[in-house]
Amino acid sequence: MVVNAGLSVIQPFPQVDTQSLLLLGYRVVVLLVILTAGWILGRVVGWLLGRLVVTAGGDSLFRHTSIGRALMKSGYTAGTFSKVVVKWIIYFTAFLIGFDGLGLPLVSQSVDAFLNFLPALVTSIAILVVGLVLSDWIGEFVKRAASPEQRELFYIDIVADFVKILLYFVTITIALANLNVNLTILYII
């Protein structure tokens, strides 16, 4: 707003040239193409991974872990859980890449930071899931390694639960360390 001799004069909107509009239209089209490709890729890869997990016998492994049983009670099988997780990671990544393509500086910096963090996040989630499943499996193995009489005599059930909790703690610590979270307080404990 310009003040001229005590009178305010409203300036008109800045002139928008055709080249800027074409560039914006092009970027919006690229955004839509990336979102569509991400949607298709997410559905295909999710379906393939779900089928692979079911074929590999993931449901039986799921039933033998406390986390798997909790997920199964909420309506997820091993195939549908892996399908949903992979599908949404691909959707979210396509969304971020698409908005990065718009060329907005604030959005681009945030998206670049997240996309650089994404491999560590996916790796940490994989470490967490595999570690928790293995912790459950090892805890159950310790329980089953002894006869029922030995379990009562040597408190094997308590030892097995302690082993399971200890392995949970180790798994969570490794996953957080992979995310570069400061774990000094955990090392002190």
Mean pLDDT to the nearest integer, 42-49: 95
Count CB neighbours of 141 within 10 A: 11
Mean of all residue pLDDT scores within the chain: 84
Q: What is the pLDDT of residue 91?
A: 93
Residues contacting residue 141 through CB under 8 Å, at least 6 positions apart: none
Q: What is the pTM of this model?
A: 0.66
Would you call 125 helix, strand, or coil by DSSP?
Answer: helix
Classify strands 2-4 and 7-9 as parallel, antiparallel or unpaired. Answer: antiparallel
Answer for the pair 158, 142: CB distance below 8 angstroms, yes or no.
no
Tell me the pLDDT tens digit for each residue of 131-171. 988 898 898 888 888 777 777 777 888 888 899 999 999 99
Q: What is the pLDDT of residue 11?
A: 62
pLDDT tier for residue 7 given thresholds of 50, 70 and 90? low
Tell me the pLDDT tens digit for each residue of 93-102. 898 888 888 8
Q: What is the pLDDT of residue 14?
A: 63
Q: What is the pLDDT of residue 37?
A: 96
At 177, which amino acid appears?
Answer: A
**How far is it, in rounded angstroms, from Cα 125 to Cα 171?**
11
Q: What is the pLDDT of residue 57?
A: 86
Mean pLDDT to the nearest integer, 115-137: 89
Identify the bridge partners of residue 2 per DSSP, sorted by sequence position: 9
Count CB neighbours of 161 within 10 A: 14
